Amino acid sequence: MTTTTRMRALSATPLLLALLACGGGGGSSAPEPAPVPAPTPAPAPTPAPAPTPAPTPAPSPAPAPAPAPAPTPAPAPAPSAAFDGTVLLGAPTLSTITLKLLSATQSGQISVAYGPANAGALQQTASSALQPGVPLEISLSGLSADTDYRYQVQFLATGAGAASTTGEARFHTARGPGSSFVFTLQADSHLDENSSLPVYQRTLQNVLADRPDFHIDLGDTFMTEKHSDPLVALVDDADSPEVVNRRYVYERTNFGAISHSVPLFLVNGNHEGELGWLAPSNSPSNLPVWATQARQRYFANPQPGIFYRGDTLPDPLVGARAAYYAWTWGDALFITLDPYWNSRAQASKDGWNLTLGERQYRWLADTLASSTAKYKFIFIHNLVGGLDGQMRGGIEAAPFYEWGGKNADGSEGFATHRAGWGVPIHTLLVQHKVSAVFHGHDHLYVKQQLDGVVYQAVPQPSAVNFSSGATLARDYHYNSGTIQSSSGHLRVSVGPSGVTSEYVRAWLPSQETSTRRNGQVDDRWTVTP
């Protein structure tokens, strides 16, 4: 604030002087007596001098004008509010990556400054408009392969005069053959009454510390088929697209702890809602459609093209689903599968009801046959079939239904139930030397091996009960392998000479002891080419 001081002029008041003059007469000696003469007229008095006029007072000087107040400076442009949303990386390739930005409340202009991590200057995208609650997609292209990049988001809020800049985040473009890298895995975060949000957040912190090239989520994350709201026991499936969107945004916010620097790949679980048996034919108003559209809107699963393989046939209701896809990174082939969309009846009635569908099966066979990668990985929420009508189990369940070809009584059934397809899925994996199948669904860590293929059950990242492994293994028909309880994630290191998978435990500070430390590795296994 500028303070203006007004000065008051002082005027001098002159002293007025009056000068008064006095008059007087003289006397003579006495004469001889004589008649009294007529009196001599008194001399006229000397007129008093005119009084000296008082000097005219000098006019008071006019008061000096008060100085004009200094102009109030224009207010400095208000700095923009910091971007309060989340950034999600997805679909990285040799030369491109997708960013999806989302803020619940903010609007303004967004741009991205980016460049190789070891370069000084950053190049910048054009500005794009951000609206509250609406995902903004920005694609970076022209990137160099197998390169570590850094980037910052610049945000100019509506009505602000200056932009804010986020801290630096990172990503790595696709690796070439011979490169070493790390990826991470989780399954079944659930966030229901048997889950702990602080434990889940601890797991995600551990993932970020691993600096993986990407993170794969094996499903049962969004839970719209079972719990509309997180962290509650109430079974209440979503009954509107608004409810579905709310849960997807909630889970996206949780992923925000890592997704600014770790690209995310999603695999559907049985609780996501993208279930064929819940989708009436030709109806756009149902949970499977709403869940698919929410995943497409808020996340960035890859579309088939030069780098990614996938389903090229758009669905008549939701378009390109991007629910199963494959890519090569370094010396490894990654294949994700979806056993739900094409399943028109639940497995609880018959294990043969669960299916990839012939189109996806043939795509899988072709993808495996055309790959020359040293290592081949399959990612699926649960085996296609499973045991006890609940899709449970690992190698004990592998011989049955579409996965292994047998009926529940052990007789051969693939040729009857999948006529003309060829061979069961497990046989296909063995023929093409698949290194490992990573599956979730059973909420525990189990490492097994069958016919040279590792079957790895991925633990929960969020479990409240951290000593339930043996009980779950018994209930879900695991009779062999390395069995451990949740919580945590898998860290998988891939290099030219081998693959190492590690089970990284998540413990809260209050849970730690001399034998339980956050980030400790509780199991490790290795495969070679």
Q: Is the pLDDT of residue 62 over 60?
A: no
Q: CB–CB of 248/295 below 8 Å? A: yes
CA distance 523 to 515: 14
Per-residue pLDDT reduced to its tens digit, 289-346? 999 999 999 999 999 999 999 999 999 999 999 999 999 999 999 999 999 999 999 9
Give the pLDDT of residue 338: 98
- Once rounded to an integer, what is the mean pLDDT over residues 15-33? 36
Query: What is the overall mean pLDDT for the chain?
Result: 89
Element (H, E) at 376: strand 375-380
Tokens standing for residue 426: 């497990």
86 pLDDT exceeds 70? Answer: yes
Cα angle, residue 222 at apex, residues 218 and 227 outer, rounded to 5°? 130
Q: What is the pLDDT of residues 103-147, one digit of tens each?
A: 999 999 999 999 999 988 999 999 999 999 999 999 999 999 999
At residue 516, the pLDDT reads 97
pLDDT of residue 528: 97
Domains delineated in the chain: 77-174 (2.60.40.10), 176-527 (3.60.21.70)
Q: Regarding predicted confidence, which is higher, 278 or 17?
A: 278
Whole-number pLDDT of residue 78 = 58
| Pick from 263, 265, 264, 271: nearest CA to 221 | 271
Q: What is the mean pLDDT of residues 470-477?
A: 97
The stretch 398-425 carries a mean pLDDT of: 98
Interatomic CA distance for residues 182 and 299, integer angstroms = 22
pLDDT beyond 60 at 265: yes
Burial class (CB in 10 A: 0-12, 13-18, 19+), 49: exposed
Lowest mean pLDDT among 75-89, 92-106, 376-390, 447-461: 75-89
Element (H, E) at 249: helix 241-259
Work out the pLDDT band at 282, boundaries 50, 70, 90.
Answer: confident
In which band, very low, low, confident or very high, does the pLDDT at 4 lie, cut at 50, 70 and 90?
very low
pLDDT band at 13 (very low <50, low <70, confident <90, very high): very low
Peptide bond into 259 cis (omega under 30): no
**pLDDT tens profile 179-204:** 999 999 999 999 999 999 999 999 99
Q: Mean pLDDT across the stretch 223-227?
A: 95
56, pLDDT greater than 80: no
Residue with tokens 């200056």: 162
| Range 167-178 average pLDDT | 98
Number of Cβ within a 10 Å radius of residue 205? 14
